[in-house]
Structure 1
Amino acid sequence: MTTASYRASRILGRRLRRRREELGLRQDEVAALSQVNASHYGKLERGESNPTVQTLLQISITLEVEPAWLVRGLDDEALLSASEIMHRSF
């Protein structure tokens, strides 16, 4: 079963890739401009890793987007399966 956090990471990664491609940049260029390790940036785009707040801010500056655009909706109930919602503790 896929977890909500995994799905959120994948969505974030797709947003990063889409915006990078819109700007005509390569992964290594975004990484260098954001002062992020290129391998780590690649993992972010593939949804294999989660950024720190600092990394998210640096990347959002490079990609010329508001940080909120990158994470908006990642905590929505739509990301959770029915069983995850029922077993979610508050």
Structure 2
Amino acid sequence: MPGIHSSAARIIGERIRDARRALGISMDDLSELAEVSLTTIGKIERGTQSPTAETLVRIASALEIDAGSLISGLQAKDFGEREHAYTVKDFLRARRELSGRG
């Protein structure tokens, strides 16, 4: 069984599940309303798959909620380890140094 994709995926999945249950609809109902496969809905709700922006909007629309509410409060660290752990300021400084303007 696949593990959790990230803490963000788990949180988004929980929010979707909570909203779906509050409406009293099944995953199958949500799948049909959002035009997203039942398998994908299940994976997202379990946190084993992160939804694309399009899928997130489709699901939120079907649940009659704002898509932003599903990602509200999430930060980059919630999506797992970053390949580049430096800030924009660090990036720009390095770019200037490489171009000889620093």
The TM-score by the shorter chain falls in which range? 0.7 to 0.9
Q: What residue in structure 2 maps to residue 20 of structure 1?
A: 20
Q: What residue in structure 2 maps to residue 89 of structure 1?
A: 86
What's the TM-score once normalised by structure 2's chain length? 0.71
Q: What residue in structure 2 maps to residue 69 of structure 1?
A: 69
RMSD value, Cα: 2.3
String of CA shifts for 1:13-62, please: whole Å, max 9, x gaps.
10000000000000011011100000011000000001111111110111
Q: In structure 2, what residue type is equivalent to 1:58? A: R
In 2: Cα distance, 1:40 partner to 1:58 partner: 12
Percentage of matched positions with identical amino acids: 36
Q: Once superposed, which parts of structure 1, at least 4 consecutive aligned residues long, lie more than 4 Å away?
A: none
Shift of 1:76: 6.5
Aligned counterparts, 1:1-90, within 5 A: 6-75=6-75, 79=78, 88-90=85-87
Greater C-alpha Rg: 2
Name stretches of at least 5 consecutive residues in structure 2 with no aligned partner. Answer: 88-102
What's the TM-score once normalised by structure 1's chain length? 0.80
Q: How many residues align?
A: 82
In 1: Cα distance, 2:26 partner to 2:57 partner: 19
